[in-house]
């Protein structure tokens, strides 16, 4: 399912999706954290990280989103200074058979939520 979603995102944004790209913050011998997004995509002016979460039951969505947004916000703030001139966007893609688009979430700067109906 993840590959199908990444293929759709690639059609939407253009560019080439890459997977298994590891990002690290801190010193190489003592990293503070490592992050491997589900997909990365670079366009002329933007670098996207895609984090895909499959939500089986809507009652779990709030906890999944809150914990993921907290982590992604840290990733964004730590990696932003090293991105350069490009716009940096982390997209949390919520895939579900349910309509989660009506839920409200407090979304930190640099993070966007995209809903994907499966």
pLDDT of residue 31: 85
* Angle, vertex CA 101, rays to CA 92 and CA 7, nearest 5: 45
pLDDT in the model for residue 37: 96
pLDDT at residue 84, as a whole number:
86
The pLDDT of residue 29? 86
What the block records as the tokens of 110 is 């640099």
pLDDT the model gives residue 65: 94
Q: Which residue ranges of the chain lie beneath pLDDT 50?
A: none
Proportion of the chain in helix, strand, coil states, percent, rounded to 5: 30, 35, 30
In this predicted structure, what is the pLDDT of residue 70?
A: 95
* Structural domains of the chain, with CATH: 2-117 (3.40.1350)
């Amino acid at each position: 399912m993840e590959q199908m979603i990444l293929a759709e995102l690639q059609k939407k944004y253009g560019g080439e999706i890459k997977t298994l790209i590891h990002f690290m913050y801190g010193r190489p011998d003592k990293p503070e954290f490592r992050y491997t997004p589900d997909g990365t995509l670079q366009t002329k002016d933007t670098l996207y990280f895609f984090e895909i979460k499959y939500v089986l039951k809507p009652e779990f969505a709030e906890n999944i989103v809150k914990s993921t947004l907290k982590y992604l916000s840290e990733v964004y703030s730590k990696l932003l200074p090293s991105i350069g001139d490009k716009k940096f966007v982390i997209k949390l893609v919520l895939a579900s058979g349910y309509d989660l688009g009506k839920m409200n979430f407090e979304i930190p700067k640099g993070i966007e939520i995209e809903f994907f109906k499966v």
